[in-house]
Amino acid sequence: MPSSGKPVSIGAERAKRGEIKDSPQDEIADGGFPATRMRRNRRTGWSRRLVAENTLSSDDLIWPLFIVDGQNTRIAVDSMPGVDRLSVDLAVEAAKEALELNIPAMAVFPNTDPKLRDDAGSQAFNPDNLVCQAVRAIKSQVPEIGIICDVALDPYTSHGHDGLLIGDEIDNDRTLNALVRQSLVQIEAGADIIAPSDMMDGRVGVIRAALENAGHTNSQIMSYAAKYASAFYGPFRDATGSKAALKGDKRTYQMDPSNAEEALREVELDITEGADMVMVKPGLPYLDIVSRVKQTFAMPTFVYQVSGEYAMLMAAAENGWLDGEKVMMESLIAFKRAGADGILTYFAPQAARHLAKAR
- Residues assigned a catalytic role: 227, 281
Residue by residue, DSSP assigns 52-104 as: -S----GGGEEEEEEEESSSS-EEE-TTSTT-EEEEHHHHHHHHHHHHHTT--
Residues 6+ apart with CB under 8 A from 107: 62, 63, 64, 65, 147, 148, 149, 150, 195, 344
Separation of alpha carbons 237 and 152, rounded Å: 13
Q: Determine the straight-line distance between the first and last CA of the chain, rounded to whole angstroms.
A: 46
- Residues 165-186: b if buried by 16+ CB within 10 A, e if exposed: beeeebebeebbebbbebbbbb
- Residues 268-291: b if buried by 16+ CB within 10 A, e if exposed: bbbbebbbbbbbbbbbbebbebbb
Asked if 30 and 22 touch (Cβ cutoff 8 Å), the reply is no
Separation of alpha carbons 31 and 258, rounded Å: 42
- Helical residues (DSSP H) of the chain, grouped into ranges: 10-16, 24-29, 45-51, 88-100, 130-141, 172-189, 203-213, 234-240, 261-273, 287-297, 307-318, 324-338, 348-358
Separation of alpha carbons 356 and 109, rounded Å: 27
